[in-house]
């Protein structure tokens, strides 16, 4: 085995899934999802999960295995990824992790804070408080107890504010303090081949627009309608394009307006992804997948 694992990161719509599949077929690999939205079973189209036909060409793991109505965190993904990694190694095949969630890759190679599980009673009380006073007021309360973490969070982000509040209530220690004590990584950095797909900005912008138009044709609007009423504090509520497409389904937006809003939000998200990758993954092999082939790049790395 040339490497213990292959990592393929990149912004949304950059062709990660196709590149991972081609490499898996070439080297006998198994594709493992490393994208925080592609875990949800109710939105395979809106999250651009590999199709059934694509998944039949090579084994795929951790796609669509979680309900959008569950609280799914990077900690849970790390547990699932560890099990998937063991399964792939049992098969004597090469794991190929691919996705756009930078924190998932960090969990693989640098470890993740070993935060104790939050008791159900604490979660329920924190959620009730959020519903009662709103996210900005909850952020203010968090700042009184845990100013270190509160200063790192946007007061308008219900998911992260709620998580930080729960952790402090459950442990009496700031979330930021827990995060400074990571558990052991799942992969040895010296035994991986790691890539970032980096195509020209205008090309990526065009691909994002085309993707949303295709999603509508394939049933994305129906998926958005099925997720109506999703708790805004749940991670799945951040699914790209969900709100404007729900507004389209409800008749609150015209098709052109909904598409424009969804495409704009996705382009902004892709920009944030690239900022993360540049700051956290400068040591990965960066290349434009339209001008250079991933299989060739992989084969060029000395064993």
Question: What pLDDT band is residue 1 in, cutting at 50, 70 and 90?
Answer: low
State residue 275's pLDDT score. Answer: 95
pTM for the predicted model, two decimal places: 0.83
Dihedral angle at the C-alpha atoms of 176, 162, 74, 115, nearest 10 degrees?
A: 50
> Which residue matches tokens 């309608």?
225
State residue 178's pLDDT score. Answer: 75
State residue 233's pLDDT score. Answer: 82
| CA–CA dist 210, 187 (Å, integer) | 35
- The answer, yes or no, to whether residue 107 has pLDDT greater than 80, is yes
Look at 128-137, 205-214, 258-267 and tell me which has the smallest mean pLDDT: 128-137
Look at 82-91, 129-138, 241-250 and tell me which has the smallest mean pLDDT: 129-138
Q: Is the dihedral of CA 194, 199, 201, 204 positive or negative?
A: negative
- Same domain? For 51 and 144 the reply is no
Count CB-CB contacts under 10 A for residue 217. 10
The domain that contains 156 carries what CATH number? 1.10.20.140
- Same domain? For 273 and 293 the reply is yes
State residue 175's pLDDT score. Answer: 84
Higher local confidence (pLDDT), 253 or 71: 253
Count CB-CB contacts under 10 A for residue 27. 18
> How many Å is the maximal CA-CA distance in the chain?
58
State residue 283's pLDDT score. Answer: 93
State residue 167's pLDDT score. Answer: 86
Residue 47: phi and psi, rounded to 5, are -100, 5
State residue 69's pLDDT score. Answer: 94
Coil, helix or strand at residue 71: coil
Dihedral angle at the C-alpha atoms of 78, 81, 87, 90, nearest 10 degrees?
A: -80
- Same domain? For 99 and 196 the reply is yes
> Which residue matches tokens 């900690």?
75
* Tally of CA atoms within 13 A in the half-sphere of 286 that contains its CB: 12
CB 86 within 8 A of CB 59: no
- Same domain? For 90 and 171 the reply is no
- Same domain? For 91 and 207 the reply is yes
- Same domain? For 39 and 52 the reply is yes
- Same domain? For 98 and 202 the reply is yes
SS (H, E, C) 131-179: HHHCHHHHHHHHHHHCHHHHCCCCCCCHHHHHHHHHHHHHHCCCHHHHH
At which of 179, 195, 214 does a domain end?
A: 179
| CA–CA dist 49, 55 (Å, integer) | 9
- Same domain? For 285 and 202 the reply is yes
The domain that contains 60 carries what CATH number? 3.40.50.300
At which of 130, 154, 179 does a domain end?
A: 179
Long-range contacts of 143-152 (CB under 8 A, 24+ apart): 146/174, 146/175, 146/176, 148/174, 148/176, 148/177, 149/174, 149/175, 149/176, 152/176
- pLDDT per position as a tens digit, 115-155: 777 887 888 888 888 888 998 999 999 999 889 899 989 99
- Same domain? For 168 and 259 the reply is no
| Mean residue pLDDT across the chain | 92
- The answer, yes or no, to whether residue 112 has pLDDT greater than 80, is no
Question: What pLDDT band is residue 182 in, cutting at 50, 70 and 90?
Answer: low
Beta strands in 184-252 (DSSP E): 192-197
- Same domain? For 212 and 276 the reply is yes
At which of 179, 204, 230 does a domain end?
A: 179
Taking phi over 0 as left and psi of -120 to 50 as alpha, with beta for the rest, 182 belongs to beta
- Same domain? For 98 and 134 the reply is no
CA 288 to chain centre: 21
Look at 1-5, 100-104, 223-227 and tell me which has the smallest mean pLDDT: 1-5
Domain that holds residue 147: 120-179
- Same domain? For 104 and 25 the reply is yes
How many domains does the chain fold into? Answer: 2
Structure tokens at 129: 């408080």
């Amino acid at each position: 085995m040339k490497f213990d694992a292959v990592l393929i990161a990149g912004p949304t719509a950059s062709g990660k899934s196709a590149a991972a599949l081609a490499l898996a077929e070439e080297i006998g690999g198994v594709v493992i999802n490393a994208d925080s939205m592609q875990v949800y079973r109710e939105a395979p189209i809106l999250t651009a999960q590999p199709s059934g036909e694509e998944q039949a060409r090579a084994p795929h793991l951790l796609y669509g295995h979680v309900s959008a109505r569950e609280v799914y965190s990077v900690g849970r993904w790390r547990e699932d990824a560890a099990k998937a990694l063991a399964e792939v190694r049992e098969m004597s095949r090469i794991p190929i992790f691919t996705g756009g969630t930078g924190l998932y890759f960090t969990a693989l190679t640098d470890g993740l804070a070993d935060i104790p599980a939050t008791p159900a009673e604490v979660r329920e009380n924190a959620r009730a408080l959020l519903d009662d006073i709103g996210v900005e007021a909850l952020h203010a309360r968090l700042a009184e107890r845990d100013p270190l973490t509160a200063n790192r969070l946007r007061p308008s982000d219900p998911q992260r504010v709620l998580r930080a509040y729960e952790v402090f209530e459950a442990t009496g220690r700031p979330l930021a303090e827990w995060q400074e004590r990571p558990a052991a990584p799942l992969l040895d950095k010296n035994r991986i081949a790691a890539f970032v797909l980096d195509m020209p900005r205008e090309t990526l912008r065009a691909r994002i627009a085309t993707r949303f138009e295709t999603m509508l044709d394939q049933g994305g609007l129906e998926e958005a309608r099925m997720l109506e009423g999703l708790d805004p504090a749940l991670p799945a509520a951040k699914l790209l394009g969900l709100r404007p497409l729900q507004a389209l389904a409800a008749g609150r937006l015209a098709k052109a307006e909904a598409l424009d809003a969804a495409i704009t939000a996705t382009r902004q998200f892709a920009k944030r992804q690239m900022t993360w990758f540049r700051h956290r993954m400068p040591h990965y092999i960066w290349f434009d997948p339209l001008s250079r082939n991933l299989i060739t790049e992989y084969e060029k790395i000395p064993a």
